[in-house]
Structure 1
Amino acid sequence: MSKVLIIEDEESIRGFLKINFQRHNFLVVESSSGEEGLEKARLENPDVVLLDVMLPGIDGFQVCEKLRKDFSNIGIIMLTARGQDEDRIKGLEFGADDYVVKPFNPLEVILRAKSLMRRMVEKEEKLQCETLNSGPFVLDIYSQKVFKNNKELSLTPKEFILMKLFLESPGRAFTRNELLDTVWGYNFVGDTKIVDVNIRRLRAKIEDRSSDTLYIETVWGTGYRWRKE
């Protein structure tokens, strides 16, 4: 069930939104101030936040900025009685995803929230398609970068292809000839030992100690495989 956090100091508006979202099977969390809203966001981890601009204490723009820094995957819809373009632009600059001007139709707000959640799911699915993950490693196919514990590794193009091949098929044993054909090409003329040399160099970059074989295992008489989690 989807969860919405309503940060609105006017009790009548907050209650009106709560009733309508509950009718559409949302779990609703309420807050009447920015400070309280931030605390509830951390405790409840909502899918969407409805955020009033004019709040006691810290205003909605400040709350929006803090939410976006702490929760990149939360959808934020700003609510305001002011329809001026500069306010809408300011809200978007602080990280809001959408903007609704009071008075509003609650059904429109609900539809906007559902649309925003669909876009967030599609974005997450797209990101997952563009990355490969294994333990502390994340391989970004789009940028052709590999990270270990959020730190980028300095890999050569051949080392990157080897990592991609291993992470795409964890647990599969690749022969040296398979690795040679895939990474260096069928027309490569040279010694298959080039595979062993590059595996050794790759291990030195990804293992905690260069002598370890925690991630890339040697399959004696065959080749190598990525240890399956």
Structure 2
Amino acid sequence: MQRLMIADSSDIVRTVAKRILTEMNFLVVEASGDREALMRCQADLPNILIVDAGLEGALELIAAVRALPEGKNVRIYYCVIEADLKKMMVGKRAGADDFLLKPFDRKILFSVFSNLSKVA
């Protein structure tokens, strides 16, 4: 089972995403802040990390995860509210692999993550 972490300050976003992604057979871990997310990653690195661009310390979190042993193997999604090229490039430079637009719903999460949930 793939481990996936959602780092987002919104309880509602984390709850909804966790419910949907758990149904897709991910083992979902939540973090409400950058420090909590980094501590959880240091303890047990997820296969996939979703980081909200609005999270304080989001870019530093991405860079810190990349610096961890095996951190290069984590698939990191930088979650943005709009397709802002400047913000997306900053996320990419910090180490994000891909982007996820908010607000997301079941259809979007299934289209992005359905193939990844099958990879062991």
TM range (shorter): 0.7 to 0.9
Per the alignment, residue 112 of structure 2 pairs with: 112
- Kindly provide the CA deviation profile for residues 1-29 of structure 1, in whole angstroms up to 9, marking residues without a partner as x: 11101101000000000000110111110
Q: Is the 8 A contact 2:8 2:52 kept in 1?
A: yes
Q: Which blocks of at least 5 consecutive residues in structure 2 are unaligned? A: none
In structure 2, C-alpha distance between the alignment counterparts of 1:63 and 1:85, rounded to whole Å: 20
Q: Is the 8 A contact 2:3 2:47 kept in 1?
A: yes
Distance 1:106 1:63, change over 3 A: farther
Q: Is the 8 A contact 2:31 2:37 kept in 1?
A: yes
One-letter amino acid of the counterpart of residue 76, structure 2: I
Per the alignment, residue 68 of structure 1 pairs with: 66
1:112 Cα deviation after fit: 2.4
Q: Is the 8 A contact 2:53 2:78 kept in 1?
A: yes
**Range 12-21 or range 79-88, more displaced:** 79-88
In structure 2, C-alpha distance between the alignment counterparts of 1:85 and 1:25, rounded to whole Å: 32
CA RMSD of aligned residues (A): 2.1
In structure 2, C-alpha distance between the alignment counterparts of 1:73 and 1:18, rounded to whole Å: 22
Distance 1:25 1:117, change over 3 A: closer
- Kindly provide the CA deviation profile for residues 68-96 of structure 1, in whole angstroms up to 9, marking residues without a partner as x: 12101111001122431101111111110
Between the two structures, name the one with larger relative contact order (CA 8 Å, sep ≥ 6). 2
* Counterpart check, 1:40 vs 2:40: yes
Normalising by structure 1, we get a TM-score of 0.47
Q: Is the 8 A contact 1:20 1:106 kept in 2?
A: yes
Q: Is the 8 A contact 1:77 1:97 kept in 2?
A: yes
In structure 1, C-alpha distance between the alignment counterparts of 2:92 and 2:54, rounded to whole Å: 16
The aligned runs of 1:20-31 (5 Å cut-off) are: 20-31=20-31
In structure 2, C-alpha distance between the alignment counterparts of 1:72 and 1:117, rounded to whole Å: 19
In structure 2, C-alpha distance between the alignment counterparts of 1:51 and 1:41, rounded to whole Å: 12
1:38 Cα deviation after fit: 0.5
Higher CA-based Rg: 1
1:32 Cα deviation after fit: 0.2
The count of corresponding residues between Structure 1 and Structure 2 is 118
Q: Is the 8 A contact 2:24 2:117 kept in 1?
A: no
Per the alignment, residue 15 of structure 1 pairs with: 15
What is the SS of the residue equivalent to 2:19? helix
1:98 Cα deviation after fit: 0.6
In structure 2, C-alpha distance between the alignment counterparts of 1:7 and 1:55, rounded to whole Å: 8
One-letter amino acid of the counterpart of residue 43, structure 2: L
Per the alignment, residue 201 of structure 1 pairs with: none
Per the alignment, residue 89 of structure 1 pairs with: 89
Distance 1:117 1:61, change over 3 A: farther
| Identical residues among aligned pairs (%) | 24
Q: Which blocks of at least 5 consecutive residues in structure 1 are unaligned? A: 122-229
Distance 1:64 1:13, change over 3 A: same
In structure 2, C-alpha distance between the alignment counterparts of 1:95 and 1:26, rounded to whole Å: 22
